[in-house]
Structure 1
Amino acid sequence: MTEFELPFEPDPRSETLRRLQALLVQRFGHIERAAASWRRPEWVLVQGVIGARTKSEISNAATDRLLKRWGSWEAVADAPLEELQAELATQTYPAIAAERLKASLSALIDLRGAVDLAHLADMETGPAMEWLERLPGIGRKIAAGVMNASTLDRRAVVLDGHHTRILQRMGLVPAKASTARAFDAIMPAMPEEWSGADYDEHHLLMKKLGQTWCRPSAHHCAACPAQALCETGAKRA
């Protein structure tokens, strides 16, 4: 049992998630985790801050580009804002990305003396996420990403727009839940045997589902592998 789970009767949503995972793996195949260089907690934080509404591969390249140009995250924090904006021109919102990145890195340096998240390894997941969310520009999605998708490898589900939308349409979280509320709602239902790597793969598979059949403005329910498990899909059957 994790700190996010409650000592009640088994949640029926857990079995739904198990069945969903199997269907998604059958449709998309297993997904390999990111390379080691992309799993450092500090790298994951930067990628999350600059990645709003931008494809992951573009944000990954931009994150690598920042570190290559300035050599350290401390130097990135000190870089002129206009230069950061120019370097982040590939992002959907480069001006906002640059401002948020500079603010979050500067705040981290003020607190830790460097862009260093090593202390999170000694903290429980909940308090660690709360600590991260006190940094400017860091919400629940990024905090969960740092804890799960990095080498910290914690059992914290990362909810982007695709993932949250699918959970809502399936009836697994409240229909109008914010990211934080959806996180709190789904964590007690996450299968207890799933590892941090399973959480990571689940998120990436849900993202693929949201990019293909369960899109924001189009429901391709007839082709969706999750239709039989979905409240919305059942209505369209």
Structure 2
Amino acid sequence: MQLDLGPDDRTDVLRRSQPALIERFGRIVRPPDKRRDPVWVLVHGVIGAQTKTAASNASTDALIAEYGSWDAVAEAPVADLEARLQRQTFPSVAAKRLNQCLGAIIAERGSVDLRHLSNYDTAEAIVWLETLPGVARKNAAGVMNASTFNRRAMVIDGHHRRIMQRMGIVPAKADTAKTYDALMPIVPEEWSAADMDEHHLLLKKLGQTHCRPRRAECEGCPVRADCETGRNS
């Protein structure tokens, strides 16, 4: 018999944080026309390690514009992909991972197409995506949340994970997957996929300003009252 422990206080912390972050940074809402095809989001994540978002956006757009289809990108020699991924921080790594990832999709599905994931629930889709070379939890969740799938899945980047750790919402040494697994059950039930996307983008802003990697600048932080680190600073 499983006991009902009642509501989790961390849910209320997340619920309070959203309006506080919006008041500080303004709304960050991804309009419908900015939701990309799931394969575009997947490719963007596979090639994007330690690369600024704008550079990865440009690289991903350039690939599909030049080759015309993701199947054609999959057939391109790795050396050609590397030459076209010079905006990326690690172009040789990005090219190899992209080639392997798209090849794995073709081997299983016959073409580079993720439409079958619309028939999966979100957890099943994420498990499937994580079987692909170069795809971890952040990218898998991004495919489900930030693409036209528009599913309730929390994208966790380094800023997001660090803030959740410092706030005491997830364990101090939780990696991305463990942070995701800790957060998803406590996300306010009324939050839509778009709310979760905005929450992630707002936390990214917070991580770029107050909650920096080397040192938390707690003075003036909009969520300080709900943060273990902030209250103790």
Q: Please, what TM-score do these two structures have when normalized by structure 2?
A: 0.95
The equivalent of 1:184 in structure 2 is: 181
Q: Give the letter for the 1:110 counterpart.
A: A
Q: CA deviation at 1:54?
A: 1.3
Q: Which residue of 1 aligns with 2:41?
A: 44
Query: How far is 1:8 from its partner?
Result: 4.6
Cα 1:195–1:222 shift into 2, 3 Å: same
Query: For residues 38 and 177 of structure 1, do their structure 2 counterparts lie closer, same or farther at Cα, with a shift above 3 Å needed?
Result: same
1:129 equivalent to 2:126? Answer yes
Deviation per CA, 1:127-174: give whole Å up to 9, x if none.
111011011111111110011111111111000111001000000000
Instruction: Give the aligned residue type for 1:133.
Output: E
Q: Would you say the 8 A contact 2:38–2:144 is kept in 1?
A: yes
Query: In 2, distance between residues paired with 1:8 and 1:128?
Result: 29
For structure 1, the 5+ residue unaligned runs are: 1-5
1:90-145 CA-partner distances (Å, limit 9, x unpaired) = 11111111111111011001111111110111111111110110111111111100
Between the two proteins, what is the percent identity of the paired residues? Answer: 58
Q: Against the structure 1 CA distance between its residues 176 and 103, is the aligned structure 2 distance closer, same or farther, given a 3 Å change threshold?
A: same
Unaligned runs of 5+ in 2: none
Q: What pairs up with 1:52-201 in 2 under 5 angstroms?
A: 52-201=49-198
* TM-score, L = length of structure 1: 0.94
Matched, 1:26 2:23: yes
Deviations 1:156-207 (A, max 9, x none): 1000111001000000000001111111111111000000000111111111
Q: What secondary structure is seen at the aligned counterpart in 1 of 2:219?
A: helix
RMSD: 1.4
What secondary structure, in the 3-state scheme, does the structure 2 residue paired with 1:84 have? helix
Deviation at 1:35, TM superposition (A): 5.8
Q: What displacement does 1:86 show?
A: 1.6
